[in-house]
Amino acid sequence: MRDRNRFHLVESDPHPLEVVGERYPGHFFLTCEHAGRAIPSCLGDLGIDSQEMDRHIAYDVGAEAVSRNLSELLGAPLYIQRYSRLVIDCNRPARASDSIPEVSDGTVIPKNIDLCPDDREERYMLIHRPYHDAVQEALDRRAMQDGGPILLAVHSFTPLMRSTGETREYELGLLYNRDDRFARAMLEEVNLKYPDIKAALNVPYTVDELSDYTIPVHGEARGIPHVLIEIRNDLISNQAGQSRWADVISQTARAAAVRMELMSNGL
């Protein structure tokens, strides 16, 4: 019999995955790993004040709404992850020290401290793995289409790190690890179409196999075009900003896809 003090999900807890626009036929494929703020009932409030769940430490502010708008604009399926990144970060490999953070931007997370290996494994198996298994299966299906999928992972970042005082002036980051093709093509389109936007490659951080999961596993390993999109969250905290930035991303992503196709054809 399962120890009820161990991590578990019950019927009233949401499934980790929500799929939007599954039948859309377009080549773009969207993920939003830090969309949700759900906490499994077995963890209560994680031992933190409720206002902490409104901060960037709990989820990517505005990213879900931008992703939903993008799904419509691009005619692309969107795979949304429902649980808070404080429960388990679904854009980290299980071996990453911050996949289940004990402290996040200065806030201690009591229910994450001194977890036993079995509890860590349960969170991975019940939340992280089902989400990414579904993404993998969907990309497998899309790979059979002409041209294959283009992966866009949508995130947001805070303009101010409370624990360090670091401020971020950039508004848009286009991130990659080893394969910079789509990120560079998209940055060129942003600079061309929206010269007032402060955009750059690999800000506010860089992608690697320990700090990220979706791009290395679902993008690089497949050899498909991909980019991790980071939008400063004060710009997408309301409906008007979310709509505007979805339009910016959709316009420049479409143009980047055309640019890459022309380059591959030697034009």
Residue 8 lies in a domain: no
Neighbours of 1 (CB within 10 A): 3
Is residue 2 scored above 60 in pLDDT?
Answer: no
Q: Are 99 and 88 in contact (CB under 8 A)?
A: yes
C-alpha 95 chain-centroid distance = 18
Residue 219 lies in a domain: yes
Residue 9 lies in a domain: no
Domain of 67, in residue numbers: 17-264
DSSP, collapsed to helix, strand or coil, labels residue 37 as coil
pLDDT band for 4, please (50, 70, 90 cuts). Answer: low
Residue 3 lies in a domain: no
Q: Checking DSSP bridges between strand 78-81 and strand 17-20, what pairing results, if any? A: antiparallel
Residue 159 lies in a domain: yes
Q: What CATH number is given to the structural domain containing 24? A: 3.40.630.40
Residue 10 lies in a domain: no
Q: How far apart are CA 156 and CA 36, in angstroms?
A: 13
Virtual CA dihedral for 185, 190, 191, 197, nearest 10 degrees?
-150
Give the tens place of pLDDT for each residue, 56-112. Answer: 999 999 999 999 999 999 999 999 999 999 999 999 999 999 999 999 999 999 999
Mean pLDDT score across all residues of the chain: 95
Looking at residue 146, its pLDDT comes to 67
Residue 11 lies in a domain: no
Residue 60 lies in a domain: yes
Looking at residue 215, its pLDDT comes to 98
Domain count, the chain: 1
Is residue 44 scored above 70 in pLDDT?
Answer: yes
Average pLDDT over residues 236-263: 94
Question: Percent of the chain scored above 70 by pLDDT?
Answer: 96
In a 10 Å sphere around its CB, with 0-12 CB exposed, 13-18 middle and 19+ buried, how is residue 97 labelled?
Answer: exposed
Q: Which residues pair with 108 in a beta bridge?
A: 103
Q: Are 34 and 85 in contact (CB under 8 A)?
A: yes
Nearest Cα to 175, choosing from 153, 212, 207?
Answer: 207
Is residue 1 scored above 50 in pLDDT?
Answer: no
Average pLDDT over residues 125-147: 92
